[in-house]
Amino acid sequence: MNYMSRGGRLSTELDAEQEYVSLLYAHLDELRADTDHRLAKTLRETSSNPQAMTQRDAATAHYGEQLAQYGAVENGLCFGRLDFADGTRSYIGRIGLFDEDHDYEPLLLDWRAPASRPFYLATAASPDGVRRRRHIRTSRRKVTGIDDEVLDLGPGEHHVHEGLAGEAALLSALNATRTGRMSDIVETIQAEQDEIIRSGLNGVLVVQGGPGTGKTAVALHRAAYLLYTYREQLSRRGVLIVGPNATFLRYIGQVLPSLGETGVLLQTAGELYPGVVGTRHEPAAAAEIKGRITMVDALRRAVRDRQELPDEPVALVVEREELVLDRDTVADARTRARRTRRPHNEARPAFAEAIVTALAQQEADRLGAEFLDAADLADIRRELAEEETVQDAIDQLWPLLTPQRLLSDLYASEDRLAVAFPDVENRDLLRRDPDLGWTAADAALLDEAAELLGVDDRAERAAAERRRREEQDYAQGVLDILQLEDDADPDILTAYDLIDAGRLAERHDDEDYRTAAERAAADRAWTFGHVIVDEAQELSPMAWRVLMRRCPSRSMTLVGDVAQTGDLSGADSWSDALAPYVEDRWRLAELTVNYRTPAEIMAVAAEVLAELAVDIEPPRSVRQTGAHPWRHEVVELPAAVAALVGDHAEPGTLAVLAPETLVADIGRAVVGEIPDAAVGDQPDLENKIVVLTVRQAKGLEFDSVLLVEPAAVVAESPRGLNDLYVALTRATRQVGVVHTAPLPAALKALTER
């Protein structure tokens, strides 16, 4: 029942809810003030004791995280109420609040708690003990409206209209204008979404859903749910969310904080290698080559190519004496190193040892080996190993490589590319200046190269061991000073009775109080407790390898739609993508309801979907707007598009989606008409008007879309029809098409503007 039509009764109900919501905010303010006081007190504490300082840092981080959570849930703190048949009631909100003065009685249930689940699942057919479900609408701290859904009519209430107020709340959210930032759906989660959100942690869950089905929202709410339900496990290992581009990550950036979670790591596929942000543009064909699984063998050949054999003997002058490295000697040293089966950098010491041993034998023969003992030979080897000319030769024949150097040298050399890609005809697409930045596809290759190269950290480990021993010796000295005299009372405990030198030294080690997300972002070897991938169909085979290394437990949520695959190395089926890693041990969940795209737009998009070679039904739209997609043929595109944008009077955001070859010209024309319009990669999505390519718009939504030259969109890529399908389904209200060339056949249903 919607009380908006019931005057006096509405006022009474609103006042009652306002009183309770005000109580909740007062409780939240008390928690915030108490935490703020604790933080200020902690910051005022001073101590030269290292342990006390680290404890202070830990407490500061904890209180800061709590304050961030309280601030993030300020808007929409309480959004629902459940009235049960037994007369009890529960309020539902973004976090849980409890009355400490009354045995921690729940004042507000966290939406993720099991007791909150009937708010999303109860129906008239299966009320689960719920008599009435109430949606509470607020603006800041003021209750602005309530919508009720009576599920189990009691005596005397049969006259009450059993409407779909829950649907009304949903449609109200769907019809709201977009702001350029994604909002959460915690108030309007539907049953099929809730089942996926609360699915178990273990294993690979694939969420297949067409455009507008809420895939991204489900993925983010699932992250919040898992962190709530498996807090101890996931707080240590962290959760990684991978999105298709930086614009998308900014678009979703506020959702998890609004749900009370601030410790999740969000990255693009181009950021999966620490220290690298792959943003440089490259041709799609080049990215496709880099995404092939054959790149594993190509990089392996590239690494072996750096383990060189000299064409001619190498003369080394050591203390005015000449030593010679011939091809056979180097080949033998290389074979010895390769037989260790260690990565390149970790096998390098074996190569160096073999080279030094061979040179030492030459020197011994020159001096008279029959007169030298083992100690003499060891001295010769040590001296040769320290010789700069010897080290230079080893560096030339078996260099110490970083992943960045390996790839830069590979891309810069036609000869090295020919060795790595003997069967790839268009390998010249990979040639580039080594000073240019990295692309998104390079991140996966850098990670694979790191696996092949390894790290020779013997020097670092030796230095760390020296520091440990020095600290232990110092601690032992402190204990010796504190030791009581020999004639002391034996019943009195001494420092020796309480702690040894090793444990005392460990107490002064610097502890790392960064969050799991912060530590994971800097550590290539980090393994996550759970990984969520949005637009997962876009991942290349090489990107899949990186993610599987990051999550050996295979606890993953993969969200996407193979009908929207635009990347040339992306997935055509989930089975093909996952088979190398989990075979058929993954589960599929499907989202079938389109909440975003109106039926009028979806009817046109369905014609495009029918031409794609995928066995997927278009999602069913829940609403109609009466605004039919239209087409408008023009002679000169940039000026016509700018004029249409200037005349656009619809509320909300407008995205102009153009082919990659036209986006710059279209953008200049639009900015000339609307100076504050945003154009190109990583735009400010809070602008009302943005000009993007279809790839840049992936995962985003706008109130209106103006699609420019769809025939060129289709022609730009072998997956052009997939891109067209994506472009048509970004709008929540209206789609228009501007063109000079004949339209693709799939757009025949468009009406003339």
Name the token pair of 210. 């067409």
Closest CA to 122 of 82, 88, 80, 160: 82
Name the token pair of 152. 């189990």
DSSP 244-306: SSHHHHHHHTTHHHHTT----EEEEGGGSSTT--------HHHHHHHHSTTHHHHHHHHHHHT
User: Residue 488's pLDDT is what?
Assistant: 55
**DSSP annotation of 191:** H
> Is the sign of the CA dihedral 399, 402, 406, 411 positive or negative?
negative
User: Residue 130's pLDDT is what?
Assistant: 94
Single-letter residue type at 334: R
Contact between residue 508 and residue 471 where contact means Cβ atoms under 8 Å apart: yes
Q: How many CB atoms lie within 10 A of CB 51?
A: 12
* Averaged pLDDT, groups of 10, the chain, 753 residues long: 49 90 95 92 74 74 86 90 94 93 89 93 87 91 90 52 47 68 82 93 96 93 94 90 91 85 89 92 94 97 97 88 92 97 96 94 82 83 90 95 96 95 92 87 97 76 66 68 57 57 58 76 93 97 97 97 94 95 96 92 94 89 91 95 92 94 95 92 80 92 96 95 96 95 92 89
For 459, counting Cβ atoms within 10 Å of its Cβ (0-12 exposed, 13-18 middle, 19+ buried), the class is exposed
Estimate to the nearest angstrom the gap between the alpha carbon of 36 and the chain centroid.
Answer: 31
Closest CA to 308 of 409, 392, 397, 393: 397
Q: Can you tell me the distance from the alpha carbon of 628 to that of 747, in angstroms, rounded to the nearest whole number? A: 12
Q: Can you tell me the distance from the alpha carbon of 710 to that of 732, in angstroms, rounded to the nearest whole number? A: 19
E-strand stretches of 422-555: 530-534
Q: Can you tell me the distance from the alpha carbon of 473 to that of 505, in angstroms, rounded to the nearest whole number? A: 9
Q: Which residues make beta-bridge pairs with 669?
A: none
Q: Which residues make beta-bridge pairs with 350?
A: none
Buried-exposed string 548-558: b where 16+ CB fall within 10 A, e elsewhere: bbbbeeebbbb
Contact between residue 656 and residue 642 where contact means Cβ atoms under 8 Å apart: no
Q: Is 100 helix (H, G, I), strand (E, B) or coil?
A: coil
CA atoms within 13 A on the CB side of 189: 33
Q: Which residues make beta-bridge pairs with 691?
A: 656, 679
Name, in order, each residue with C-beta under 8 angstroms of 170's C-beta and a sequence gap of 6 or more. Answer: 188, 190, 595, 622
Q: How many CB atoms lie within 10 A of CB 194?
A: 17
Tokens 């289709």 correspond to what residue? 714
Q: Can you tell me the distance from the alpha carbon of 600 to that of 734, in angstroms, rounded to the nearest whole number? A: 9
User: Residue 50's pLDDT is what?
Assistant: 62
> What are the contacts of 404-410 at 24+ separation with CB within 8 A?
404/276, 404/446, 406/299, 406/302, 406/303, 406/306, 406/449, 406/453, 407/442, 407/445, 407/446, 407/449, 408/434, 409/306, 409/434, 410/302
Name, in order, each residue with C-beta under 8 angstroms of 102's C-beta and a sequence gap of 6 or more. Answer: none
User: Residue 2's pLDDT is what?
Assistant: 42
Name the token pair of 727. 């472009």
CA distances from 229 to 216, 223, 283, 532 (A): 20, 10, 43, 16
pTM greater than the 0.85 cutoff: no
DSSP 19-43: HHHHHHHHHHHHHHHHHHHHHHHHH
CA atoms within 13 A on the CB side of 286: 15
